[in-house]
Amino acid sequence: MKLDSMYQEIILDHYRNPHGRGLRDPFEAEVHHVNPTCGDEVTVRVHLSGGEGLDAKVEDLSYDALGCSISQAATSVAHDLLVGHTVGEAFETLEAYQAMVQSRGKVEPDEDVLDDAVAFAGVAAYPARVKCALLGWLAFKDAVAQAQASQAQTGGTA
């Protein structure tokens, strides 16, 4: 049944016990994204260190979210997969994830890159839910861009 392929146990686990939830200090940027069709909301903070651009390291992705199981679980998995990596690595994972959930099932996910996030492959069959799966991830991307833009402006590094 398709429904089971979307709501895999791993997704429901993340939904019930989200990883890394809560807004924490320090952070360089905080963004608030909403899904205007359903009203789901997420606030994401990022804390970066070292290097510039893609070489900076994602020290923390902290968040507060109101939303469905898919959007909540997806943000929890993003926290697991992106923290501790460079921005370059995180963006590669994000791209692979985005390609998978937007593929309508045509892209075979790479488990080495996506780890737990492969569980969201079932979402690709339901275009109306793709936004849910991407909400927290795209908020992260936006937060990184904002953090690095403000760093470039002030000329400082974290």
Binding residues (CB under 8 A) for another protein: these are 1-3, 6-7, 12, 37-41, 66-70, 126, 129, 132
Farthest CA pair distance, the chain: 54
Structure tokens at 146: 């904002």
Q: How many residues does the chain have?
A: 158
The least CB distance from residue 1 to another protein, in Å, is 7
Closest C-alpha to 48, from 57, 38, 39: 57
CB nearer to another protein: pick between 47 and 131 = 131
* Nearer Cβ to another protein (39/155): 39
H or E element in which residue 136 lies: helix 130-154
CB of 61 vs another protein, minimal distance in Å: 22
Instruction: Choose between 58 and 123: whose C-beta lies nearer to another protein.
Output: 123
Q: How far is the CB of 112 from another protein (least distance, A)?
A: 29
Question: 33 pairs with which residues across the strands?
Answer: 42
